[in-house]
Amino acid sequence: MRFPSTWVLNFICFFILFNLACSFQTTFWFQVFGQVPSPFLWILFPVYFIVTRPGFGSVFICYFFTLIASRYSSIHLGNLLIVMSIITFMILMLRSRIFWSGPSYYMLISFGSLLAFHFLLLAISFSLEENHAPLLLGDRFIQIILTLGFCYPSYLVMQKIDNLLGTQDSFIQGLGEQRDL
């Protein structure tokens, strides 16, 4: 299987965008709004990759994004990987059964992923850690609402990158339309 050069450029663009999103959350939002919960922008990128890319490639790219996100926090990489792997496989299974192209599907999946992320992280923490994570229901609710506001614009930006680089068609032609694991 050949890797077109546009795939590399595509990956670099998303790598830069992802770091921009994480830095926006940790630095810009922190400096301007202080302790107000920031939107969960970083999770929109792995969700987009899982929704729009073929199966196994998207799994490992999702893991790579998770590795980057773990550097912006004191959260343990293993905890985050477990949660993201469950979310990844859940989305892949759902995508193999129900799928339609367009931003509405992406926004629905993003909303579900946000809920699943918070639930799974709390579940793992409550079941395995003595000093478990705080519930922070208000903060998590605000985060989800704020993130949904960024869903559609982020989808447009990511789609624009894919269309400009012509990568969307080459993914589909090179690997086939893989809906199943």
Partner 1 sequence: MFRYVNLSFKQFALLCVAVILPIVSFNVEQSKSETTWIAEPLDLVKQGFESAFFVFTAGVRDTTSEYLNLIGIKQLNADLKLKNAQLEVNQSRFEEVLLENQRLKKLLEFKETNKMQLIAAQVVGGDLFKDHKTITINKGSEHGLKSGMGVVTLQGVIGYVFRPERWSSQIMLIEDRYSVVDAVVQRTRAHGIVEGKGHSGCALKYVERSEDVQIGDVVVTGGLDNIFPKGFPVAIVRNVESKRSTVSLKVDLDPVVDPAKVEEVFVISNASDQDVGNQFFSGVFTPESSTEAASR
- Give me the torsion for CA of 78, 84, 86, 91, rounded to 10°: -170
Q: Residue 102: left if φ>0, alpha if ψ -120 to 50, beta else—which one?
A: left
Give residues in contact with partner 1 (CB under 8 A).
19-20, 22-28, 30-32, 34-35, 37, 42, 56, 59-60, 63, 67-69, 71-79, 81-82, 84-85, 121, 125, 128-129, 131-134, 136, 139-140, 143, 180-181
Cα-Cα-Cα-Cα dihedral of 47, 49, 51, 53, to 10°? -160
CA-to-CA distance for 160 and 164, rounded, in angstroms? 6
Smallest distance from partner 1 to CB 102, Å: 27
Of the two residues 98 and 135, which places its CB atom closer to partner 1 in the complex?
Answer: 135
Round to whole Å and give the CA distance between 22 and 125: 23
Minimum CB–partner distance for residue 81 and partner 1 (Å): 4
Nearest CB to partner 1, comparing residues 29 and 105: 29
* Closest distance to partner 1 from the beta carbon of 140 (Å): 7
Q: How far is the CB of 103 from partner 1 (least distance, A)?
A: 25
